Amino acid sequence: MHLSLTQTTIATQTYWLGQTANGLAFVGRANGPKDEWRDFFPAATATVEPNANQAAQAVLRDFLTGKTLRFDAPLDDTVGTAFQRQVWAILRTIPYGQQVSYQQVALQLNRPTAVRAVAHAIARNPCLIATPCHRVVRQDGTLGGYRGGLPMKRALLALEARTIKTRTSLPE
């Protein structure tokens, strides 16, 4: 596998994006290290291509500034196991501004005892934000973990709440 890597800065945060011929395969955490992608693609090669991933950069920028509610870019999740891909597919169905529990994801998979496996699959999600694992919380409503760190998870959830509130309070 080969990744085309691009660094993009949105507001004060820098993100690394990695794309294959099939689509966006990696979104790094805010201000994360340049080689964070290696945790997910240890056998891959990569080149930094400053002008690559323009569409994904635009979608990420629009998402993080509240201009769009969907991360609408082709994704390449072929790196995951079949179970991980099932979990990631469910994450992409969670509506913007809403949260579900790890237990609810396990129930959607018809595997109610697989909560820990679901949490592990979510932790292995290489496409932060694009596959919205930040919308998954513990059963009691507390945040749980997040590869990007809890401050980033809080910020994403707050952004979504503000955007929903702003859009629903606009006059028609």
- Per residue in 24-53, pLDDT (tens digit) is 999 999 999 999 999 999 999 999 998 888
Residue 11's pLDDT is 86
Do 51 and 109 lie in one domain? The reply is no
| Average pLDDT along the chain | 92
For residue 71, being part of any structural domain is answered with: no
Residue 78's pLDDT is 87
For residue 118, being part of any structural domain is answered with: yes
Q: For residue 68, which of 163, 168, 170 has the smallest C-alpha distance?
A: 163
Whether the Cβ atoms of residue 26 and residue 127 lie closer than 8 Å to each other: yes
Residue 145's pLDDT is 87
Structure tokens at 5: 């890597």
Catalytic residue among 60, 91, 94, 133: 133
pLDDT over 60 at 5, yes or no = yes
- The domain in which residue 126 lies consists of 82-169
pLDDT over 90 at 70, yes or no = no
Do 26 and 91 lie in one domain? The reply is no
Residue 79's pLDDT is 87
Do 57 and 121 lie in one domain? The reply is no
Overall domain count for the chain: 2
Task: Give yes or no: 133 in active site.
Answer: yes
Please report, for the domain that includes residue 98, its CATH number. Answer: 1.10.10.10
Residue 77's pLDDT is 84
Quick one: average pLDDT of 11-26? 93
Least confident of 2-6, 23-27, 52-56, 136-140: 52-56
Residue 170's pLDDT is 53
